[in-house]
Amino acid sequence: MTTTRTRGAGATSFGPSALLGIPAMAFFAVFAILPLGVALYLSFTQWSGLGSPEWVGLENWRTLLTDSSTAHSLMLTIQLMVLTWLVQTPISLLLGVFLAGRQRYREILAVVYFVPLLLSSASIAIAYRNLLDPNFGVFSGGGLGWLNQNWLGDPSLTFYVVAFIIAWQFVPFHTLLYQGGARQIPQTLYEAAAIDGAGRARQFRSITLPQLRYTIVTSSTLILVGALTYFDVIFILTQGGPGDATRILPLDMYLTGFVANKMGLASAIAVVLVVLGMVLSLTISKASGFSKMESQLDGEA
């Protein structure tokens, strides 16, 4: 490589100038960093959305820590996180590996499985609302026995129904991830294993799973951190109800801020969500060695 002639100093390094990053950085600062700072500021104020915010110090944070309804919302969020992970991971892992096969009919199945992801959350929620309606829904015709339940109105059922619908919506996406991951696994490994006499189950356990571990990390991070942002589906399905049975933290933030007009407290909840999301994603990365990710091809690792 020849040294490029430049007018400015310090421009001898290769690649595009750092100046090209400025618009993006400016955008990020204005639309991400600055609002975050304002939210942090608001969390120390009392503000109804009208007039000027009034500084109240740590009062919102004290409310947050002592108020049992926030704790309830946080618990629900964590439960939903774990539940959706437990439902989505095995299903999408198995589906993804299955669909990574090369037979033609699997492509058609892949398209069918993919359909829920093509629908918007709002339409999914409205569709399920109507399907599960105890008086006019699909199960209300009679003869379907236990299926005709008050799915979205029974406090002991609704949480699981919501988790199911969310899983239904996002399984295709994670299936796609696993499908991609599984297709990257060299066929030679399977051939060698077959020669050694390993059956399908053994191949799955000893080759597929270990080879997919980084995909599992990626998918799990998306599921777990994503659980902090479930809002649209639940808002339309239940509005956090019945009672507060599905009032997860993001919904609690919305209702506190935009319905009860307590912007200060809502900002504090927002900050909690941001911190929670960052801690979670950093922990998963660290614990799984994701940051040291290496190529798995050509005999490495």
Determine if 49 is a binding residue for other proteins (CB under 8 A): yes
Segment contacting other proteins by CB under 8 A, of 31-39, 113-121, 163-171, 289-297:
31-39
Q: Kindly state whether residue 153 participates in binding other proteins, applying the rule CB under 8 A.
A: yes
Chosen residue from 11, 41, 90, 289 binding other proteins by CB under 8 A: 41
Q: Are 227 and 77 in contact (CB under 8 A)?
A: yes
State how far the Cα of 55 lies from the Cα of 101, in Å rounded to an integer: 61
Count residues contacting other proteins (CB under 8 A)?
43
Listed ranges 103-111, 165-173, 243-251, 276-284: which one lies at the site for other proteins (CB under 8 A): 243-251
Tokens of 153: 């109105």
Q: Does 281 bind other proteins (CB under 8 A)?
A: no
Does residue 296 belong to the site contacting other proteins (CB under 8 A)?
no
Query: Looking at 240, 248, 251, 272, which residue binds other proteins (CB under 8 A)?
Result: 240
Selected from 203, 211, 239, 296, the binder of other proteins by CB under 8 A is 239
Q: Which of 244, 280, 285, 290 binds other proteins (CB under 8 A)?
A: 244
Answer yes or no: are the C-beta atoms of 235 and 254 closer than 8 Å. yes
C-beta of 117 vs 154, nearer to other proteins: 154
Q: Under the criterion CB under 8 A, does residue 238 sit at the interface with other proteins?
A: yes
Question: Which residues does 83 contact at the CB level (< 8 Å), separation at least 6?
Answer: 160, 163
Site membership for other proteins, residue 167 (CB under 8 A): no
Q: Nearest approach, Cβ of 135 to other proteins (angstroms)? A: 6
Interatomic CA distance for residues 67 and 247, integer angstroms: 14
Whose Cβ is closer to other proteins: residue 113's or residue 151's?
151
Which one of 6, 31, 62, 94 is in contact with other proteins (CB under 8 A)?
A: 31
By beta-carbon proximity to other proteins, the closer residue of 73 and 179 is: 73
Residues 113-152, one symbol each (x = binds other proteins by CB under 8 A, - = not), give ----------------x--xxxxx-------------xxx
Contact footprint for other proteins (CB under 8 A): 31, 34-35, 38-39, 41-42, 47-53, 129, 132-136, 150-155, 238-244, 247, 255-263
